[in-house]
Amino acid sequence: MGLKDLHVKLKQGLQLRRILKMNTGSKKKGARVAKKPSWMMPAVSHGYHVVEGYDESKSDFVVVQREPIEELELWFFGVFDPRIGDGVTKYMQSHLFDKKPKESQIKGKSKETMRKAYLGARAKVKGTQGSEETNGVGSVSAMVIDGEKLVLANMGDYRAIVCRDGLAHEIGSRHKQSPKGSWSHKLFKVHILMCDTGNAASNKQSKSSDLLVGAEKIENNTEFVILASSGICEVMKNQEAVNLIRHIENPQAAAQGLAREASNRMSRSNISCLVIRFD
């Protein structure tokens, strides 16, 4: 073989290696992690119990909404002051759910969208009823994303209470995040119950309408979430509420127990609660 032929073969070999390298690189770049099939998504079941008050117009607005977006399993729950009504839900629907965003967008924008929904609903109440009425507005909601992420928001004297290992935690500055790496990719089963008791004797006003919004990963020690109105929060502490229902596996019975206990303690506000249990 002459030098000329050897040079041609070396040149062809170099070009071939470049092509292989380019193809290999493009495959690595385009590689995607396989998504979980829909049948592996967390199973969700829910039930509700409502005890109507004397004046239904003064009862809280309770929402349980499932939003499957492609292969994403999304649940939205809320207990809203009657003056807020469905304002927060409509905002979430038009600014997030209806847009059919990608999974990364939902996980990235859910917290901020929730915050804007609350601020917008509160501003609307202020515009129609005045600042004094705004000070008494309270609401709480939760979004469960693929059984892995929990986005919570509460305003006024309404609370979102997360039970982990039997201990009650609140969102916002009062909620301590668990150490990174301690959460699990375990699939969770979500049970929901709504309980709404309207009490017309007195609709006690919240002392403030401060808004707290937080997000956290659902860990393997996350047992359940309580969304409670002021009617429950004014007569029992967070840990009391958790202790009262922790042993009750059925979320319907758990919510009924909370409502009954609040009534027994002579709560003077609307009693509304929603329990989300993870198994």
Torsion angle (degrees, nearest 10) of CA 184, 186, 187, 193: -60
Region for residue 227 given its phi and psi (left: phi exceeds 0; alpha: psi -120 to 50; beta: otherwise):
beta
**Statement: residue 16 has pLDDT above 80:** no
Predicted confidence at residue 147, as pLDDT, reads 84
Cβ(221)–Cβ(165) below 8 Å: yes
Report the pLDDT averaged over residues 259-271: 88
Report helix angle 238-245 to 251-264, nearest 10.
130
**Statement: residue 107 has pLDDT above 70:** yes
Predicted confidence at residue 247, as pLDDT, reads 94
Q: Which residue has the higher pLDDT, 171 or 83?
A: 83
Phi, psi of 233 (to 5 degrees): -65, -25
4 pLDDT band, cuts 50/70/90, is low
CA pair distance 274, 279, nearest whole angstrom: 16
84 pLDDT band, cuts 50/70/90, is very high
Predicted confidence at residue 183, as pLDDT, reads 33
- For the record, the structure tokens of 172 come out as 């916002």
Furthest CA-CA distance within the chain: 105
Boundaries of every domain in the chain:
56-162+190-199+211-279
Cβ(254)–Cβ(182) below 8 Å: no
CA distances (Å), 246 to each of 52, 111, 148, 228, 279, in order? 26, 27, 21, 15, 13
Q: Which residue has the higher pLDDT, 29 or 191?
A: 191
| CATH for 56-162+190-199+211-279 (1.10.150.20, 3.30.1490.20, 3.30.70.270, 3.60.40.10) | 3.60.40.10
Predicted confidence at residue 41, as pLDDT, reads 45
Q: Kindly report, residue by residue over 193-205, the tens digit of the pLDDT.
A: 666 665 544 444 4
Cβ(60)–Cβ(230) below 8 Å: no
Predicted confidence at residue 105, as pLDDT, reads 82
Report the pLDDT averaged over residues 32-60: 53
